[in-house]
Structure 1
Amino acid sequence: MISTLTMTDEQRKSVALEYLKAFDNGGITSTGGSILDLFAEDAQVLFPKWGLATGREQIGQMFSDLGSRLKSITHDYAHFNWILTGTDTLVCEGTSFGEHVDGHWRAGVPSAAGAGYWADVFEIRDFKIQRCFIYLDPDYGSQDTARYPWLNR
């Protein structure tokens, strides 16, 4: 699709922030809509250990699958590091805390190892997320210790 709306970095950042807040709010945006409304029809989202979801239907399935494992999540908005490029691409790096079916986690808490640290790479055009690649350790409960012996120390 040809882009028709010019956006500033701050406008792209506001779309990404709305997505993160909706994720914390069980998939409901600040206007009461679905988180999926923030995505273009043919958007792509990548999540570790799930893979690549293309289109709103697959993205909805991914979020449903992830949501079934998370009891709660909160992103630490005050500590976000935004990398704005003046193009459709921007990056948000941050931390989170919450409860997973395997237990509680908080970034920086040693028993949670790397849980809670993340970075999202977005492409946002025409006020819709076109692409969101999520980089994090999906082992929120630090259960995968057999393959990483230093986690048992």
Structure 2
Amino acid sequence: MNTKSNTTEETRAIVEQFYKRRSLNDIDAVIDLIADDIKWEIPGDKDLAPWLGNRSSKAEVREFFSLQKQYVKSLIFDTKQLVVEGENAVAVGYLSSRMLKTNKVFNSHFMTHFTVKNKQITHYFFSEDSLELVKVLTEDERKIEEQKIKDSSAIDLVILYFEKTDKRETDLDTLFSEDVEIYYPKFGEAKGRTEINRFIAWTRGFIEKLTHEISDFSYVISENRVIVEGTESGILKSGKTFSKTRFCSVFTIKDNLISRMYIYVDPDFAGEDAERFGY
């Protein structure tokens, strides 16, 4: 087994342990999996939901679990899919929780991104439906309408990206900020608008045609993050076809531009993996 495979399996094992220990409500055991300098992110309105926000230590993560227990009763937490490559893992699933403040039930799809190094979780990012959470925590129509407008604008930008991608348009980089961060399996991580052009050229080097089933996309919007789960089909340069390959993409929107785009998919569309390493 090569080093990359070893790392992938170690990451998978840690993430699976994280969920197992959470399901047993063994918070001490969960904290043992967290790095001392953890980057813990759960976007949202902390005034409405005090357990949300950023944390950077084990003590602060422990506070998260304490606050969550105080305000939320979990009804369903179901991880549907786990995609792992190297140090990165993405879990996609569904949750249902009762908000103890209002006694209303919050239902949402969720996405969690983990980074695991030296068998500890160094980055944890959790995203759920911000609009639905606002709805079950407040009767303030202004807050709800503001969230609706923000969500709609973000989705429109993401859809435009996929439409331009499918049409193979050449001005895709104009949708991104100058310092955009990107990630794609086998291509790796990169930063800057010029890297977007390199990424596009790289993918078009082995994909002749790509189509996304945009009308069937599922979205989770959490503050300025848009998580898209869907399928894509296409034709490779080799002439081989692929159909309904599932993917998950995470976009961060800033000043009406995409400032971060992480795509999680198996790029080995037709068993030709060796040709598609970007490094």
Please report the TM-score for the alignment, with normalisation by the length of structure 2: 0.43
Tell me the CA shift for residue 50 of structure 1: 0.4
Could you tell me which residue of structure 2 aligns to residue 110 of structure 1?
A: none
Name the structure, 1 or 2, with higher relative contact order (CA <8 Å, separation 6+).
1
Partner AA of 2:204 in structure 1: G
- For residue 104 of structure 1, report the CA deviation from its aligned partner: 0.2
For 2:236, the equivalent position in structure 1 comes to 100
Is 1:16 aligned to residue 16 of structure 2?
no
Q: Counterparts in 2 of 1:1-153, with a 5 A limit?
A: 8-28=150-170, 34-85=171-222, 87-102=223-238, 103-107=240-244, 116-143=245-272
CA root-mean-square deviation = 1.5
Unpaired runs of at least 5, structure 2? 1-146, 274-279
> SS of the residue aligned with 2:177?
strand
Q: Which has the larger radius of gyration?
A: 2
Distance between the aligned counterparts of 2:196 and 2:185, measured in 1? 14
What's the offset of the Cα at 1:143?
A: 4.0
Secondary structure (helix, strand or coil) at the match of 2:156 reads helix
What secondary structure does 1:15 align onto?
helix
Share of identical aligned residues, percent? 26
Count of equivalent residues:
125
Q: In structure 1, what is the Cα distance between the partners aligned to 2:151 and 2:209?
A: 29
Q: Secondary structure at the match of 1:71?
A: strand
- Superposed CA deviations along residues 80-138 of structure 1, whole A, max 9, x for unmatched, are 000112x111100000111012410002xxxxxxxx11010000011100000000000
Q: Whose helix proportion is higher, 1 or 2?
A: 2
Q: Please list every run of at least 4 consecutive aligned residues from structure 1 whose deviation after the TM superposition is greater than 4 angstroms.
A: none
Instruction: Give the Å deviation of 1:19.
Output: 0.5
- Cα deviation 1:48-98 (Å, max 9, x = unaligned): 00011210111111110111111000000121000112x111100000111
Higher strand share: 2
The SS at the match of 1:8 is helix
List gaps (5 residues or longer) in structure 1: 1-5, 29-33, 108-115, 145-153
> What amino acid sits opposite 2:205 in the alignment?
S
Q: Which amino acid aligns with 1:128?
A: L
| 2-structure distance, mates of 1:143, 1:44 | 26
